[in-house]
Structure 1
Amino acid sequence: MNLHLQKSKVKSQKSKVKITGSKSETNRLLLLQALNPNISLENVSNSDDSEVMENIIHNSQLPTVTLSAVEVPQLFNVHHAGTAMRFLTAYFAIQEGKEVILTGSSRMKERPIKILVEALQQLKTEIYYEENEGFPPIKIIGKKLTNNKVSLPANVSSQYISALLLIAPKLENGLELTLEGEITSIPYINMTLALLKEIGVKTSFIENKITVKPLLTINSKLLTIESDWSSASYWYSIVALSEIGTQITLSSYKQNSLQGDAALVEIYKNFGVETVFNNDNSNSISISKINNSPFTTHNLQLNNSPDIAQTIAVTCFGLGIGCHLTGLHTLKIKETDRLEALKNELTKLGANVSVTNDSLTLEPSEKINENISIKTYQDHRMAMAFAPLALKVPIIIEEAEVVSKSYPTFWEDLKSVGFTITSHL
């Protein structure tokens, strides 16, 4: 499904949007809930990724019917859900007596899993590659693990690290995890440790060593998941590209968020956007356009929040200003190579942009080509990051349904604030 976004305007200077729970927090807590059934969750993400993870966990816990003397491994398909692939690899590694095969989409079979598999193998897990070495699909034979020391490179995706930390309380001797080199994505590691602490697990993170103590049982606990800051980023972009005085209220967010993408609050001050945390029952925030950016180029280090790089680059382009974004090396192994994808689509719109393995540089430019068809590369963030440009020019978003991966109601929410959107063949 391709969508044609006409040149639009936010219809009311005071609009309200409700965003569901953080995908990052939800997926971590779904795994913790699977290991600790006493946990109950509120405001769970309605994203495809979270639904995939929830369904696989549920189905894996159902009794299996053996039709022959040879036990066949259960087959689970995570489709495009990278978080589910990584977290479930660790989860199934400690499910004693259970044998599963985890597979995914054609793109998932190109996304590396070797670093996590090798880390788990240091704990003496049984994991085997079904097709290509280092990539899904993988066969996992669950067993009890007594080893508790693991080391891996510190600059890898934080999801590898979090996968290990989430299963650590269920290991007989806990876990001592040593990170070698300079650590990236610290907020996502801290998020995982904070969620562990919330259910009573004792942890420490000193220099490059993380220790998680075993906790085999926990008391009943209800956890409310904060709304997703990555999803909020598109609304920050919309406000930044709107007239002064535009305000959108989003719920529900915490001032002391565990999510690295909460950096939006400070980053978007550079684009004239102010954030107010409201003292109401919904824990809402109001984001308002109060002035125009005084800068011609923004230099931002996004090691701790790479998922908002696409949004920021498009915001800068829409405002006619430049940016130099660094710390983006993990974007090359996402749903697509996000740096190359950004370069391709921004160039079609008239931008002068260059990328390296971990950075993007956009030159200031005032011209935006109209009615350009934006390829989304099966990447939800490409679709949503470019959509706010409809406040400047009409634009076409290809395969727009891809937003369901993290934000299924995105297009309906845009329409609710005044965007004019029609199907485009």
Structure 2
Amino acid sequence: MEKTIHPSQVSGEVRPPCSKSYAQRALAAALLSDGETTLSNIELCDDTRYAMNVITGLGASVRQTGPTEYVIRGGLAPITDTINTGESGLATRLFTPIAALCDRRMTITGTGTMLRRPIGMMIDPLRNLGVQVRSNGYLPITVQGPLRGGETDVEAYVSSQFLTGLLMSLPLAEGDTILHVEQPNSLPYLAVTVDLASKFRIRMEHNGFREFFIPGGQHYHPAKLHIEGDWSSAAFMLVAGAIAGEVTAKRMNTLSLQADLAIIQALTKAGAVIITTPDEITVRKRELTGFDFDATQRPDLFPILAVLGANCEGTTHIRGMNRLVYKESNRAEAIVSEYTKLGMDVALEDDVMTVRGGSLSGGTIDSCNDHRIAMAAAIAALAASGPVTITNAQAVTKSYPRFWDDLDSIIRTKA
């Protein structure tokens, strides 16, 4: 699929989709609960659809009771020996330890780029916690539990997603667990995990996310949850407002624990006009200046921050680039290889991405099958000197299936 976006002014309101990070965690908790959990404001993107299929395969009963509402009867009782997590890194690393709670052999596999993303960091901790594991460091991985608890080190520098899987599964282990976390990253995502688990009455203690104590023998209690809007998705529309007009994102928790709420900090540093209420945010265009931003804990913002920096006067420095290697693409390389086709002055050195402001041109870029590369390129087109064509534009369905419709709805006039 190709999509062409012309230089345009924007004005209007959007309602970003639900947070897929919250949704996948909530689906996992619903699976592990004793009884029926109601989840509202769930829109099915590719990742949440795979997560829904996974919990069904692991024994949950799912009933849709409204356009975005689902009732899930929990119960970990697999009806299949193989689960497929698609291209979702979170689903893979979240549901592997959950599957390992079962005293049967379970194989976890995926599709596309997920087959090339490393999962070796899961092997030793799972074995240390009583699980039999077969894997070459990539999918598929076969596990046989039960996960018993104990004490182990967990590497969380490249990703905290496996740690999230352990935090959600180990409360159901027979014994207590102590986890020693090496170089924890993505701390806001861990905060989301701890908060979500608490809503199902799960207890755990931690020391600055570097050491966790998780009592075993707990039970997930059913809950009724509204899944909040996704700041990762909202970031694209808010930058559109900052560089091309004015955009309001509705139904957004401006006090959220989500990592990508930090887009507000970046926009503030750049000088955009920002108006917030507890449940919405408006961003308006103003002369922008280069900024320094540490994205180590929020690597998903890199593509749209690069676009924001390119529309600023002066130089922007974005730190944390080493977190980008094992995404849907090698995201740092994709930003350079594709966005330079539009005239972006972007350079990588050590852990820093440097973007020098200047006008962008039209052109054709490949999304590299990366949803965030595609969406950021579309926003870049709004302030470019000519139209931008994005190939493999269907990649947006991974997180924001109605992105193109939402973008079309706020385009008012061609620039």
Same fold (TM over 0.5): yes
User: Does residue 9 of structure 1 match 2:6?
Assistant: no
Give the whole-Å Cα distance in 2 for the aligned partners of 1:196 and 1:62: 18
Aligned partner of 1:399 among 392, 395, 400: 392
Work out whether 1:287 is the aligned partner of 2:282: yes
- Counterpart in the other structure of 2:70: none
Structure 2, unmatched stretches of 5+, are 62-78
CA offset digits 1:139-175 (Å, max 9, x no partner): 222x223232121234230112111111121112242
Q: Cα deviations across residues 55-103 of structure 1 (Å, max 9, x unaligned)?
A: 121133289xxxxxxxx97333322111111111111111233x33222
AA of the residue aligned to 1:170? L
The corresponding residue for 1:271 is: 270
**Structure 1 residue identity aligned to 2:89:** G
- Please say if 1:85 is aligned against 2:92: yes
Q: Following TM superposition, by how much is the alpha carbon of 1:316 offset from its aligned partner in structure 2, in angstroms?
A: 1.3
User: Could you tell me which amino acid in structure 2 is paired with residue 375 of structure 1?
Assistant: D
1:139 match: 142
Match of 1:235, SS state, is: helix
Aligned to 1:196, the other structure's residue is in SS state helix
TM-aligned CA deviation for residue 357 of structure 1: 5.6
One-letter amino acid of the structure 2 residue matched with residue 221 of structure 1: A
Q: What is the match of residue 64 of structure 2?
A: none
Q: CA deviation at 1:290?
A: 5.8
Quickly say closer, same or farther: Cα 1:44–1:88, change in 2 above 3 A.
same
Unpaired runs of at least 5, structure 1: 64-71
Q: Is the 8 A contact 1:73 1:101 kept in 2?
A: no
Q: Distance in 2 between matches of 1:405 and 1:136?
A: 19
Q: Any residues of structure 2 matched to 1:5-404 within 5 Å, and which?
A: 5-10=5-10, 12=11, 15-36=12-33, 37-61=35-59, 74-97=81-104, 99-129=105-135, 133-141=136-144, 143-180=145-182, 182-207=183-208, 208-214=210-216, 216-243=218-245, 246=246, 248-278=247-277, 283=279, 285-289=280-284, 291-293=286-288, 295=289, 297-319=290-312, 321-356=314-349, 358-364=351-357, 366-370=358-362, 372-393=363-384, 394-404=387-397
What one-letter code is carried by the residue in structure 2 that aligns with 1:26?
A: A
Contact 1:240 1:271 in 2 (8 A): no
Matched letter for residue 199 of structure 2: E
1:250 partner SS: strand
Deviations 1:163-189 (A, max 9, x none): 111112111224211113x43211111
Amino-acid identity (%): 28
Cα distance in 2 for partners of 1:107, 1:290 equals 36
Determine helix, strand or coil for the equivalent of 2:353. strand
Query: What SS is found at the alignment partner of 2:325?
Result: helix
Q: Sort the Cα spacing of 1:271 and 1:62 in 2 relative to 1 into closer, same or farther, 3 A.
A: closer
Q: Structure 1 CA distance, aligned partners of 2:195 and 2:25?
A: 11
Describe the superposition over 1:189-215 as per-residue Cα deviations: whole angstroms up to 9, x where unpaired: 111111112221222221421122235
Q: Calculate the TM-score normalised by the size of structure 2.
A: 0.89
Q: Is the 8 A contact 2:97 2:126 kept in 1?
A: yes
Q: Which has the higher contact order (CA 8 A, sep 6+)?
A: 1
1:68 corresponds to:
none
Instruction: Return the alpha-carbon distance in structure 1 between the equivalents of residues 111 and 20 of structure 2.
Output: 19
Counterparts of 1:275 and 1:420, CA distance in 2: 22
RMSD: 2.2
How many residues get paired?
Answer: 393
Distance 2:285 2:411 in 1: 20
Measure the CA separation in 2 of the matches of 1:2 and 1:389.
16
Given that 2:171 and 2:219 are in contact with CA atoms closer than 8 Å, whether structure 1 keeps it comes out as no
Q: 1:272 to 1:325 in 2, by over 3 A?
A: same
Tell me how far apart the structure 2 counterparts of residues 348 and 78 of structure 1 sit (CA, whole Å): 33
Normalised by the length of structure 1, the TM-score is 0.87
Provide the rounded CA distance (Å) in 1 between the counterparts of 2:225 and 2:17: 14
For residues 98-150 of structure 1, the C-alpha deviation after alignment (integer angstroms, 9 at most, x for no partner) is x3322222421210001022221110112212xxx211111222x22323212
Partners of 1:290 and 1:390 lie apart in 2 by 15
Look up the SS of the partner of 1:254 in the other structure. Answer: coil
Change (3 A) 1:58 1:419: farther
Q: State the one-letter code of the partner of 2:253.
A: K
Distance 1:125 1:199 in 2: 25
2:149/2:170 contact within 8 Å kept: no
Q: Is the 2:242–2:286 contact (alpha carbons within 8 Å) kept by the matching residues of 1?
A: no
Distance between the aligned counterparts of 1:5 and 1:311, measured in 2? 16
Distance in 1 of aligned mates of 2:413 and 2:322 = 35
